Amino acid sequence: MADQRAVVVLVDTYETADHGVPQTARHLAPAFLAAGAECVRVQSAPEPPGVYRTSTPTWEHYRDNVVHDGDLGRTVAALEPYRPVAVVPGGEYGVAFADVLGEALGVPHNGTASRAARRDKHAMVEAVRAAGLRAARQIRTGDRDELAAWHRATGGRVVVKPVRSAGGDGVSFCDTPEQSAAALDAITARQNVFSEANDVVVAQEYLVGAEFIVNTVSRDGAHHVCDLWRSRRFSVNGITDLSGACYLVPRRGPRHDEVVDYAFAVLDAVGIRHGAAHAELKLGPDGPCLIEVGARVSGGDLPHYARLATGDSQLDWVVDAALRPDRFHARRGEDYEVRRHFSWAALISPVEGTLRRYTAIDRVRALESFHELWELTRPGDRLRRTVDDTTYPVIVTFMHEVDEIVQRDLGTLRYLDGVGFYELA
């Protein structure tokens, strides 16, 4: 090598998804470059999945781009001259191959022995249960009759979803065995968001409680919580628990230690010893219970937002864990300080058709804590009813030194949203 700068391998850093939705991966290379490292990008397959087909990396951020053609030895040989110090997945799609590559290169890694528990939503919950932690009742099946019988025996509401996917893709809330069977049919009839076949589904009992997002970074099995978020969900458009907003909460708060301790135990259970993780869980009367966990940086651009709100983020901790482990261990356990309160929110369209205009978009921009707005569906585009996070028409962020103003503006946004917000051609 011409110089002694550390090199980090970033796997599948796709910067946008369909409709130009920004992805957290676009911040990874700049974070490492700012710390004086260089980046080599690895694409885990010759063709990207459909959701990222139009994504173009910022090539000037990378020293090289290596496309894995299925021959691991050839890919490792292409990377070895760079003497990489870390392998970091750009998102959920890159997690599995990052495990394989990190192990093959001999850098700190989570390994392949327990990788199923970090990608397979059924296996991860079983790993949590085997560790003695609270875990949801569940079944993995491709048989509609077996699923209906399990739902009948379980009773109540259940959640049916693809075994491997991301971002709310295919998640269905079912109150009857017939609805569960129909959800299985719908999921297995198509590919998941990563263009993979859905041969089976996982069905889990519906968890009641406040939903938390716990973003962490680990090194050598030692964990640090970077930021905590509370989610807001809505029963609209036939969806029982549609995610519509989340907001940053302080590290210390009522039962927050309970949430963090459980999340750390989950990381141990699924074998996350190195790198970032994003855990979603419900906190109910019986304590925390896992929804799912990913061995990668949080999606939804939350690390970028956390940095705006606190001055630090999961991105910064990933850099320290990879390049400056002594600094990571020295700082681990420090509480972040919320300097500016932050919330992310999506508009939820109840109508479909060709969009002519948003009637109150200027009123949204005029809200006191308004920070940024992304029109994912623009005038002239086909507007879809919002049923998951792939059908949000607009994403809005709010930021202010006073939490009450952010909460007020979140409420105002929901008041403005509705049938009258969307003028159709």
Say how many C-beta atoms besides its own lie within 10 A of residue 231's C-beta: 18
Give the count of alpha carbons within 13 A of 31, CB side only. 26
- Rounded Cα–Cα distance for residues 175 and 159 (Å): 9
In the chain, how long is the greatest CA-to-CA distance?
Answer: 65
Give the phi and the psi of residue 55 in degrees, each rounded to 5.
-75, 130
The string of DSSP codes covering 357-401 is EETTHHHHHTSTTEEEEEESS-TTSEE---SSTTS-SEEEEEEES
CB within 8 Å of 117: residues ≥ 6 apart: 123, 124, 126, 127, 269, 270, 271
Amino acid occupying residue 177: P
3-state secondary structure of 156: coil
Each residue's pLDDT expressed in tens, for the chain with a length of 425 residues: 345 799 999 999 999 987 677 899 999 999 999 999 999 999 999 999 988 989 999 999 999 999 999 999 999 999 999 999 999 999 999 999 999 999 999 999 999 999 999 999 999 999 999 999 999 999 999 999 999 999 999 999 999 999 987 767 788 999 999 999 999 999 999 988 788 889 999 999 999 999 999 999 999 999 999 999 999 999 999 888 889 999 999 999 999 999 999 999 999 999 999 999 999 999 999 999 999 999 999 998 999 999 999 999 999 999 999 999 999 999 999 999 999 999 999 999 999 999 999 999 999 999 999 999 999 999 999 999 998 888 999 999 999 999 999 999 999 999 999 999 999 99
3-state secondary structure 234-274: EEECCEEEEEEEEEEECCCCCCHHHHHHHHHHHHHHHCCCC
